[in-house]
A and B are shown apart, each in its own frame.
Chain A
């Protein structure tokens, strides 16, 4: 490696040969060994700039950002059976709610049916995927 090429590489990659492209490191170290004073000065000058660049501000993640990313991360996948159980519970809940309202209005047994609806709701929320059941309930309510 010529001194000019050594200087070119230092000007691009800085004063630490260990951070230069792998393919040129060995030749660069040989060149440095042959001219430690001259090429050492080249490296020293570039190392000054390296140290300055290291002072460019970085920043750490704050708790709010970490919290948002943790919250948005994938959740454990539900099994097929659990998914169907959640769906069935949700649909059953929606159907029971509609039927309960109809029967309650017709028969005047609103209190008893409300208690039944509460029981069904509790059962639905006991499923492995309560969010799915709740979403289905919301959708059914919006209809």
Chain B
């Protein structure tokens, strides 16, 4: 991970700001999969994840020509934008769910089939989705996105101690929800 003040994306971002298509491609190759993964794991919906990733980068393109280095790393900025977009969608989804419960795929274990990769992935996605929002965000930012504890805590607006608590409680809940699958990965 880059140290504070050192942004590995800065040169590419400057190229994007100048309209260099090669820089745009390289930046997308480097960062789009991360933002897609973040959105997918926070929203548990591939289509909404694509929408969030697209909106995040459209905002990045607007920022690129006037990006001022030293304020925040570009990757952190992307995470902040995507995180807020995901929260907006989850909020709207909760309002919709209250009005009309959506159909939910049956992701409960069903014997032999539960060990199929797709179904395991579905179980984990469902378990993540069932966590309280802050715990899910903490786990996705730290475990899946590999952010440091200070960076993740800053994104969530909490102290590192609170982040540790969110992570601990989230992992404990996941362990309980996925207990039947733990044997499969040993």
Which residues 3-34 in A have Cβ within 8 Å of B in the complex? 8-9, 11-14, 19, 21-22
- Is B114 an interface position by the 8 A CB rule? no
Contact with A along B1-27 (1 / 0, CB 8 A): 000000000000000111111001100
Give the distance in Å from the alpha carbon of A56 to the alpha carbon of B177 in the complex: 14
Contact across chains for B20 and A76 when beta carbons are under 8 A apart? yes
Q: How far is the CA of A58 from the CA of B181 in the complex (A)?
A: 19
B178 within 8 A of A: yes
Q: How far is the CB of A25 from chain B (nearest CB, A)?
A: 12
Binary interface encoding of chain A residues 47-77 relative to chain B, with 1 for a CB under 8 A from any of its CBs, else 0: 0111111011111111001101110111111
A13 touches B167 (CB 8 A): yes
A82-116 CB contact bits vs B (8 Å, 1 = yes)? 00000000000000000000000000000000000
| Partner of A55 from B36, B54, B117 at Cβ < 8 Å | B117
Bound complex: CA A43 to CA B45 (Å): 32
Query: Contact residue range for chain A?
Result: 35 or more
Which residue of A68, A74, A77 has the most chain B CB atoms within 10 A of its CB atom?
Answer: A74
Once the chains are docked, how many angstroms separate the CA of A69 from the CA of B120?
32
Total residues of chain B contacting the partner, CB 8 A? 55
Q: Is the CB of B148 within 8 A of A48?
A: no
> Which single member of A8, A21, A57, A73 contacts B16 (CB below 8 Å)?
A73
A: residues with CB less than 8 A from B are: 8-9, 11-14, 19, 21-22, 46, 48-53, 55-62, 65-66, 68-70, 72-77
Known: A11-B168, A66-B32, A73-B24. A21 touches B54 (CB 8 A): no
What is the CB-to-nearest-CB distance from B86 to chain A, in angstroms, rounded to a whole number?
14
The contact sample of 17 A-B pairs, CB cut-off 8 A, is: A11-B171, A12-B171, A22-B148, A48-B186, A56-B121, A58-B36, A59-B40, A59-B46, A60-B33, A60-B36, A61-B36, A65-B53, A70-B25, A72-B61, A74-B65, A76-B19, A77-B19
Determine if A76 and B18 form an interchain contact, defined as CB atoms under 8 angstroms apart.
Answer: yes
From B41, B64, B167, B181, give the contact of A52 (CB < 8 A): B181
B32 touches A69 (CB 8 A): yes
Q: Using A49-B175, A51-B185, A53-B124 as known contacts, say yes or no to A69 and B54 having CB atoms under 8 A apart.
A: yes
Name the 9 nearest CB pairs between A and B, nearest first: A76-B19, A58-B37, A12-B167, A73-B24, A51-B185, A12-B168, A57-B121, A56-B124, A12-B164
In the complex, the answer to whether A73 meets B37 with C-beta atoms within 8 Å is: no
Q: How far is the CB of A137 from chain B (nearest CB, A)?
A: 23
> For residues 144 through 180 of chain B, which have their beta carbon under 8 Å from a beta carbon of chain A?
144, 146, 148-150, 160, 164-165, 167-168, 171-172, 174-175, 178
- Minimum CB–CB distance from A141 to chain B (whole Å) comes to 28
Say yes or no: A74-B33 contact (C-beta < 8 A), given A12-B168, A53-B124, A65-B54: no
Set of chain A residues within 8 Å of B58, measured between Cβ atoms? 69, 72
